[in-house]
Structure 1
Amino acid sequence: MASLLRKAITAWALFGALFILAIVLVTTLNVSAFAANRVAALFGGTVAGLSGYEDFVRLAVSVTALSFIPYCQLKRGHVVVDLFVQSMPKAVRAGLDKLWLATTAGLALFLAYWMWVGLNETMADQTRTAILGWQEWPWYGPGVVSMILWALVCLLQLVEGEPHG
């Protein structure tokens, strides 16, 4: 089961990476259109940017940012301040690590719950993006999944007892 969770979290991060690629591509096209518009203006012409660029990037960044959190936790890549803790006995460090893993798992589930509430409210309100008119509620789903995966990896690390550092 732990191996399957690790694979799912890695795949989820790759899913986020696809959004990064899409953001880079769309941004490159939009900036190129802006530059082309400057050149075209010299000759009395215009080149339009991508309509809805801001809508897409705003939604895609939210998916991307959250999709990496479980992977970062899996690799213990979060910022850790060990100034006080490094001089404490190993048992105390292990206890603190377990405490923070449990706290982080609880926080991630708390965030997942409220994102789920937000998803449902956005769906009920029929909230749409300003330019493209896309429904916003589906973009909450990956965030909910990310928070649940984050909680699961914290619980896995808690059970396996792999201390940080």
Structure 2
Amino acid sequence: MFAVFRRIALWFALAGGAAACGLALLTVVSIAMRATVSKPIPGDVELMQMGIALCISLYLPWCQLQRANIIVDFFTQKLPQRPQRALDGIGSVLLAVMCVLLSLRTGAGALAVSGAGETTMIIGLPMWWAYAMLAPGLALTALIALWQGLRQLRGLDAGTPAPADGVPS
């Protein structure tokens, strides 16, 4: 299962990286146009807002798979491994629940905003696009977190970051 999640999460992260590069190029061109001809790219801020939200949601699955999220273990770092693993498993399952809810709500929000016909103010992009773009990354993050959490609770996963060889501990 790790290999499947790794491949999909990697493609999501690469797509997020490509989007981030495109947004960086958009920013450079818009600033250059503003400085040289006093006319920036119309809607550059709108595009940046939507694009950065997309990038973040596409990076989340890879971040979760690599266990690169911030963990506050101040109170648990001295616990034995079994309770630490149980707490990490509970945390992963709770993250999965939160991501499922966020994915469902962004999907529902996309439908509601689409039905209302809302668009961005400057270039008139449909607002539902911004909501719909978030759902796949959140859903994949939920699946990965649930898989990790269940493995941790069963004692099959030490909860450590994935090693370079891609085989979970």
TM over 0.5: yes
Q: Which runs of 5+ in 2 are unaligned?
A: 161-169
More helix by percentage: 1
Give the deviation of 1:159 after TM superposition: 3.6
Alignment match, 1:112:
103
After the TM superposition, which residues 72-91 of structure 1 pair with which residues of structure 2 at under 5 Å, given as runs? 72-91=63-82
After the TM superposition, which residues 5-154 of structure 1 pair with which residues of structure 2 at under 5 Å, given as runs? 5-37=5-37, 47-154=38-145
Q: Partner amino acid for 1:79? A: I
Q: Partner amino acid for 1:108? A: C
Q: Is 137-146 or 72-81 further displaced after alignment? A: 137-146
Contact 1:97 1:163 in 2 (8 A): no
The total of aligned residue pairs comes to 156
1 CA distance for matches of 2:86 and 2:5? 24
Give the deviation of 1:2 after TM superposition: 3.3
Alignment match, 1:40:
none
Deviations 1:67-96 (A, max 9, x none): 111111111001111222110111110110
Q: Report % sequence identity.
A: 22
Contact 1:104 1:151 in 2 (8 A): yes
1 CA distance for matches of 2:49 and 2:92? 30
Q: Which runs of 5+ in 1 are unaligned?
A: 38-46
Give the deviation of 1:131 after TM superposition: 1.2
The runs of 4+ residues in structure 1 deviating greater than 6 Å are none
Task: Name the TM-score, length of structure 1 as normaliser.
Answer: 0.88
1 CA distance for matches of 2:4 and 2:89? 22
Task: Name the TM-score, length of structure 2 as normaliser.
Answer: 0.86
1 CA distance for matches of 2:78 and 2:39? 60
2 CA distance for matches of 1:147 and 1:49? 33
Give the deviation of 1:35 after TM superposition: 1.9
1 CA distance for matches of 2:73 and 2:151? 21
Question: Highest CA radius of gyration, 1 or 2?
Answer: 1
Root-mean-square deviation over aligned CA pairs: 1.4
